[in-house]
Amino acid sequence: MSRLIAMAGVVDAVNDVLGRGVAWLTLVMVLMQFAVVVMRYVFGLSSIYMQESIVYMHAIVFLAAAGYTLLHEGHVRVDIFYGSADERRRAWTNLLGVLLLLWPMAATTLLASWGYVLASWKVFEVSPEGAGLPAIFLLKTFIWVFASVLILQGFSLAAHSLGVILGIEQSSTPQAEEEHAL
């Protein structure tokens, strides 16, 4: 069990670094949007390349940071089941949520997108706009990144939850452990 929890810690660390890294794209995205607006309304210029890059960054932030959001309990939960529960009941809720909801949804996303992403890679799909970004196939690959980081973070959440259920850990979420330490 300690090996399982150690592996969960590695997953937590990877998703934390990935989430913090892609968070910087939000700053780049805002600056790019500002530049697009200034170019358009001050200089009368437009850039499809820049406009599409904003859409790409927006998608990457949401898709790649999904595991980070789950790690830090940023996803919506139903408080009627979770909010007033003790740590053991929360652990059971997390474990069942991973097994019955998260993993099936992420696996379905991965399987359903398989042909879609591969078809895009086969032709190295580019923007339909002549001056657009030449890498739609890379953007579509982030669907797989999304599903993968959720599957991995689900593993971590399940491992920590099992640790709580078995009395090895105090909290099924690292964020809650940080709050207990303060």
Q: Can you read off the two tokens belonging to residue 158?
A: 């399940």
| Whether residue 95 has pLDDT greater than 50 | yes
- Return the pLDDT at 178: 53
Alpha carbon distance 109, 104 (integer Å): 8
Taking only the tens place, the pLDDT of each residue in 114-151 is 999 999 999 999 998 888 888 999 999 999 999 999 99
Handedness of CA 20, 103, 84, 164 (dihedral sign): negative
Task: Read off the pLDDT band of 181 (50, 70, 90).
Answer: very low
Q: Can you read off the two tokens belonging to residue 71?
A: 């790690």
Q: What is the mean pLDDT of residues 22-35?
A: 96
Q: Is the pTM of this model over 0.75?
A: yes
Three-state SS string across the chain, please?
CHHHHHHHHHHHHHHHHHHHHHHHHHHHHHHHHHHHHHHHHHCCCCCHHHHHHHHHHHHHHHHHCHHHHHHCCCCCCCHHHHCCCCHHHHHHHHHHHHHHHHHHHHHHHHHHHHHHHHHHHHCCCCCCCCCCCCCHHHHHHHHHHHHHHHHHHHHHHHHHHHHHHCCCCCCCCHHHHHHHHC
How confident is the prediction for the chain on average, in pLDDT?
90
**Phi (first) and psi of residue 180, to 5 degrees:** -65, -35
- Could you tell me if 5 and 163 are in contact, meaning their C-beta atoms sit under 8 angstroms apart? yes
